[in-house]
Structure 1
Amino acid sequence: MPPPHAGLVAAGERRWSASGPCVRPRWSLAHGTARRFGTALPRLAPKPLRPPRPGGFAVACLDYRLSGEAVHPAQRDDVAAALAWLRRRAPEIGLDMGRTVLWGESAGGHLAALTALTQPAGTVLGCVAWYAPSNLTVFAEDVPDSSYSAHDGGTFEALMLGGAPAEAAGAARDASPVAHVTDQAPPFLLLHGTDDSLVPARQSVRLAEALTAAGCHPDLWLVEGGNHLWVGLSDAKVENCFSRTLQFATACVDAGGR
């Protein structure tokens, strides 16, 4: 029987699946779409993640309940439940859950980071978050034109929390990855466009600062000119974001496998 492979885990909505003919390291990928809509459909996987790539990783796209169905902490709990399901099924579907990296973009990056920081140490070997919120308690402060209000109950964050961040302060803090940072945090790769008009790049900086203060060594890469979803970047620069992500994941699972 081939040796187990590591994996990527990405967060999606309600379906859980893993791909790969042998026991592989795992990527877990969490989809974005503001926790309000969307699904982790295989056809949405970016080209660098499609077969035969990404270099020995099995990729699981995780679904979670959207904010119209349930509020925090349901989304985080669904990602944790998906990881537990994969651990139970690992021998059957050929996964090495001891070498798992979480990855998500936007709202999915928020859930990947939140899950990585609230699961027992060692559950995942690394976490990648692309243009993700990290501190919902001060999100409004980071929006440069003051177009976002912490008292607005109709924002995507408020819908996920069950109330405006200013009124649901406890939930906002609990849903913020920065509030759960300790010196036991796994390695983090944070990518964020400097021109992001939906999630300010300052949110990734805040998470990097919190990790650094805890004695961790996050890799923060601010992508010059990048808007949300990498709008405004050339294909080559977007490919570079994927390449950095895969290099980081490979380094995490190689270090964890020794």
Structure 2
Amino acid sequence: MEHLAMRRTLPVLALCVALLSSSAAVEAAPEPLPGGTFSYGEHARQNITVHGDGDDPALVILHGGSWVRDTDWSGWARWFAARGFTVYDTDYRLASDAAWPAQRDDVLAALRWVKRRSGSTPVVLGSSAGGHLAVSAGAYGAGRKRVRGVVALSPVASPYRAWQDGGMRAASPGQRKLRGTAELLAGCVPYQASGRCWKKWVDLVAKSHASGKDDAPLYLTHSAADFVPVAHSTDLALAQTRAGLKDATVRIEPGEAHGGELLKQPGAAQAVLRWLRQHV
């Protein structure tokens, strides 16, 4: 369903022939790609904006925003599109719209849409909360079947760790805020959690789904003073390598940049670009 672009109407005769030749329901012809914004679901946030040449390898971008707000990735989407990717800048329901696992469900649905429309399995780049969704998609079930590789910038790979860090006396304002949005995402707090709610917190942690060789390769990066510490990524990478994944990289940049700001570090964007090109 694409509510922001015109559908092409099938001629009546062609439609009749198709109905006679197949027992399956006939869908309206899809819009030509690339360009434009398309819906992959019925909610207003379930949409994808496409940049680049539709014949180029598919790159899905998942924005950050602590699961509670949108952030603008159109500039970087155009940057990667200019360097040989068809970029699918993907939105998803926020924690204020629905609790977990709605966000993962949206990303999985978006990945199916991209694969169907592009004819190929995409690579994924996610930032912060979007990094959490990226590594979750790459590890959930047999992630390699849906994702060729995952780049995650400051991924909140463990919302439970973020909740713990945000409750410490020395927590930064960013960590305190992330604690609150993790609670909103889960729909409950761990110390009050029933068995069902505790299972949701476990499900939120990407490494709890690690299956090694069946999962997508990883390129994970944080700054040295990131308010989402590198332990999120080292724990995930260790769990995946112990399970048999042979392609997991963790990179630490100097300073305190977070999420998309990491791409502005000297050489960082080019390093990400090289890794993505190696995995398409």
| Counterparts of residues 125-144 of structure 1 (less than 5 Å) | 125-142=148-165
What is the alpha-carbon distance in structure 2 between the residues aligned to residue 66 and residue 109 of structure 1?
14
Equivalent position to 2:114, from 86, 97, 115: 86
Describe the superposition over 1:107-157 as per-residue Cα deviations: whole angstroms up to 9, x where unpaired.
Answer: 000001101111543211100111011123333455675538xxx997111
Secondary structure of 1:35 counterpart: coil
How does the TM-score come out when normalised to structure 1? 0.78
Aligned match of 1:175? 204
Describe the superposition over 1:39-93 as per-residue Cα deviations: whole angstroms up to 9, x where unpaired.
Answer: 5x5xx3344x4258442210001111001110000000001111122233x2xxx
Label 1:153 to 1:212 Cα distance change in 2 as closer, same or farther (>3 A).
closer
How does the TM-score come out when normalised to structure 2? 0.72
Contact 1:23 1:96 in 2 (8 A): no
Aligned match of 1:256? none
2:63 is the alignment partner of 1:31: yes
- Match of 2:271, as an amino acid? R
Aligned match of 1:157? 182
Contact 1:29 1:102 in 2 (8 A): yes
What is the alpha-carbon distance in structure 2 between the residues aligned to residue 242 and residue 131 of structure 1?
14
- RMSD in angstroms over aligned alpha carbons? 2.9
Q: Which structure's residues are more often helix, by fraction?
A: 2
Aligned match of 1:195? 225
What is the alpha-carbon distance in structure 2 between the residues aligned to residue 224 and residue 131 of structure 1?
13
Q: CA deviation at 1:96?
A: 3.8
Contact 1:13 1:38 in 2 (8 A): no
Where in structure 1 are there 5+ consecutive unaligned residues? 6-11, 254-258
Q: Percent identical across equivalent pairs?
A: 28
Contact 2:157 2:233 in 1 (8 A): yes
Label 1:27 to 1:230 Cα distance change in 2 as closer, same or farther (>3 A).
closer
Q: CA deviation at 1:194?
A: 1.2
2:242 is the alignment partner of 1:210: no
Aligned length: 227
User: Could you say which structure has the greater relative contact order, defined with CA pairs below 8 angstroms and 6 or more residues apart?
Assistant: 1
Q: CA deviation at 1:207?
A: 1.1
